[in-house]
Structure 1
Amino acid sequence: MTRAMRQKNQQYGTAGGTLRRVQIGNALSAFGSGFTVPYMFVYVSTVRGLGSMTAWLVFTLFALAALVALPLAGRGIDRYGARPVLVAGAVTAAAGALAFGHASGSGHILMSAFLFGAGVAAVQPALATMIVRCSTQETRAHAFALQFTLVNLGMGIGALIGGQIVDVSRPASLTLLFSVEAVMFLVLAAVTGTIRMPAAAPAAVPASAPAAVPASAPTAGGRVAEPKSDLRTLLADKAMVRICLLAGLIFFTCYGQFESGVAAYATDVVGTSPSVLGLALGVNTLAIVVLQMIVVRITARRRRSTAIAATGVVWLGAWAAAAVAGLVSGGMVATAAMLSVYMLFGVGEALLAPTLGPIIADLAPAHLLGSYNAAFALVKQVAIAMGPAAGVLLVGAGLPAAYIAVMAGSTVLIVALALRLRTQLTAAQDNAVRRTRVVTTSVEPRLAGELRPAA
């Protein structure tokens, strides 16, 4: 083995160890979030007695905090690296969670919510950037899928334990939950703040790729001056704009409905009990944990746009099941239909996990990876914030059929936009080519065969 090959293997081994630490820290922070996420609304409105309007303002402030924090986080990642931004975001989120758990008045709780939301928002693109830096094109889909699985598993376990502690008649029990979440964010900062990130390798640009931003001329010191990270560069990337629009629709249609529109529809229209809703969330998590690695293997030889379109088809089935539940409200059939809704949502989520993150990573120029991940996270936060408004308003206005129709129509649009996205992605970005096995000889490694189109 040559010296260059040994160095390369050592670099991959270091990156793999770093990635494991990032994943562990991420899972632990998700575990902490699981303690509080299901109880945010009831904590503000009931436990602290501030009413539903203040509770909705809290969720609005989460979105506003993301609007402020994410552009700054993206620029910070591109300039200083993902690790310091992640540590700063995690510490900020910990301070916000601790303040949120001890807040009593509306002003105090709203300020804590903004601080907490800003910290969580900064953590997301930093984690995504670290995963990209610690993986290769061949391992990236698996890394993102594993992250998604661990997050869901951590949140599920946290919610299960938190449910045994919470008591709405005792504010101290909720304070304890938010304190646990704060500690877990500090653990994330400690685990990731001491790692050494592998050097960023310049991404290979396929021959079929569209023209990129011209590289700057070398400076007097021999270094290449990278173009500045600005919004114009991102908006000029038509593929990135398309994937953000598609992602916004995806997050609005599924994630934005989980604990709002679907829950309101299930309880008000179908007559589902809160205990069944808890079981449905468990079914969703179980579907993701069981299917995720299987889906990774299936999608490894498929176009990413095909996987996104398949997600739309699966979610269309989920909304059809919701319609059936509404028609036969009450009884075992309605319960089974609502459980299948959450299960099908989980199948779609498993399809997306190894797909969206790698597309963003392949689209982003190396010097703008943080900005691209921040823009994607911003779209996600805004879409999720808009989701509850649409769902609760339609169901609350006595228009459940219109709610189902809007969501079903959105899933059809997801399919159409995913298939249209193919025209904006290169074959490599869409995972439309795959490499055959590498055959080593005594002289040098060579590829056995050529690049072949994926299914």
Structure 2
Amino acid sequence: MRTVRGWFQDTAGGLPRTFWYLWAGTLINRLGSFVLIFLAIYLTQERGFSAAQAGLVIGLWGAGGAVGTTIGGTLTDRWGRRPTLLVAHVGAAGMMIALGLARPLWAVAVGALLLGAFAEAARPAFGAMMVDVVPDKDRLRAFSLNYWAINLGFACAAVLAGFAAQGSYLLLFLVNATTTLVTALIIFAKVGETRGPVTTLPVKGMPAQAGALRTILADRVFLGFVALNLLAALVFLQHISMLPIAMGDSGLSPATYGSVIALNGVLIVVGQLFVPRLIKGRSRS
């Protein structure tokens, strides 16, 4: 018992209250993250679009996410973490409902593009807020716990959405929108602005934002890391695009796909809690 208590204290103890509000919001949001998991199945089986058209829509979601992340990062620094998170979550909830009600391909495509932009705009603000409120010595634990919540919610959502999809696909969009709004409500009620005074000095002769971009583009290690992540994502994200379509073509139900894809989250949930202790004291590289 003492060992379990000590392990729990090492894993989750001493983190600030604001972190746990953010953690709870993440878990609730991910428990209802039905739309992206089942978007390919919805487009091909429910709406009758081809695999190429479904791939185009999901690709537009990714393109919107790339733009949204960039805009979200800029707004996080200029506008603040809290307002960026609130606007991103409320906008994403609205676009989920709009996407669920859209009928023509062009409307679905535009809805996916805007949904990706709003949904991913929250990521930089959330990460910045985590860094703001968690001391440096505890950040590895904090991000590990948050990643654990993401995958716990993902695993549960995949199974639940698989069964819900057999009744009504619109229900997936409505539940996802609701959990996103609940997360926004938690941030609105319990989380204050965490951005401190801006200390970054601009490069001489150019605005601060341009100077920051120049610094990033000159960092070869960081750019190499980004390139490796891009290559990994090209393979990994097939689990929400081509994998569900291929399983559907093989006669497998949405519930079966949900159970299979949930295994990914389950394995991460089981392993993630032990990773920080395994890599403690080791080189990050």
Structure 2 counterparts to residues 59-98 of structure 1, below 5 A:
59-98=58-97
User: Helix, strand or coil for the counterpart of 2:32?
Assistant: helix
Q: Deviations over 1:257-294 (max 9, x none)?
A: 334566788899xx996677655433322221111111
> Contact 2:40 / 2:240 at 8 angstroms: preserved in 1?
no
Residue 202 (structure 1) shift? 9.0
Counterparts in 2 of 1:282 and 1:272: CA distance versus 1, 3 Å: farther
Distance in 2 between residues matched to 1:175 and 1:122, nearest whole Å: 24
Unaligned stretches of 5+ in structure 1?
A: 1-12, 204-212, 218-225, 306-455
Distance in 2 between residues matched to 1:279 and 1:15, nearest whole Å: 33
Q: Deviations over 1:325-371 (max 9, x none)?
A: xxxxxxxxxxxxxxxxxxxxxxxxxxxxxxxxxxxxxxxxxxxxxxx
Structure 2 counterparts to residues 23-422 of structure 1, below 5 A:
23-33=23-33, 35-167=34-166, 173-194=168-189, 195-198=191-194, 200=196, 228-230=208-210, 231-253=213-235, 255-260=236-241, 278-305=258-285
Distance in 1 between residues matched to 2:84 and 2:102, nearest whole Å: 26
Distance in 2 between residues matched to 1:165 and 1:26, nearest whole Å: 21
User: Helix, strand or coil for the counterpart of 1:229?
Assistant: helix
User: Helix, strand or coil for the counterpart of 1:303?
Assistant: coil
**What is the TM-score normalised by the length of structure 2?**
0.82
For 1:22, give the aligned amino acid.
L
Of all paired residues, the percent bearing the same amino acid is 29
Counterparts in 2 of 1:272 and 1:128: CA distance versus 1, 3 Å: farther
Residue 214 (structure 1) shift? 6.2
**What is the TM-score normalised by the length of structure 1?**
0.53
Residue 151 (structure 1) shift? 0.8
Distance in 1 between residues matched to 2:282 and 2:216, nearest whole Å: 27
For the aligned residue pairs, the C-alpha RMSD in angstroms reads 3.1
> Contact 2:96 / 2:173 at 8 angstroms: preserved in 1?
yes
Distance in 2 between residues matched to 1:135 and 1:83, nearest whole Å: 16
Residue 28 (structure 1) shift? 1.1
Residue 14 (structure 1) shift? 11
Q: Deviations over 1:19-39 (max 9, x none)?
A: 111111111111111x23332
Counterparts in 2 of 1:234 and 1:166: CA distance versus 1, 3 Å: same
Counterparts in 2 of 1:45 and 1:261: CA distance versus 1, 3 Å: closer
For 1:196, give the aligned amino acid.
G
Distance in 2 between residues matched to 1:196 and 1:137, nearest whole Å: 20
Distance in 2 between residues matched to 1:302 and 1:26, nearest whole Å: 28
> Contact 2:93 / 2:180 at 8 angstroms: preserved in 1?
yes
Distance in 1 between residues matched to 2:101 and 2:108, nearest whole Å: 8
Number of residue pairs aligned between Structure 1 and Structure 2: 268
Larger Rg: 1
Residue 86 (structure 1) shift? 1.0
1:10 matched residue in structure 2: none
> Contact 2:51 / 2:245 at 8 angstroms: preserved in 1?
no
Instruction: Name the structure, 1 or 2, with higher relative contact order (CA <8 Å, separation 6+).
Output: 2
Q: Deviations over 1:149-191 (max 9, x none)?
A: 1111112112222222212xx6xx1111101101111111111
1:434 matched residue in structure 2: none
Distance in 2 between residues matched to 1:95 and 1:63, nearest whole Å: 18
Counterparts in 2 of 1:138 and 1:54: CA distance versus 1, 3 Å: same
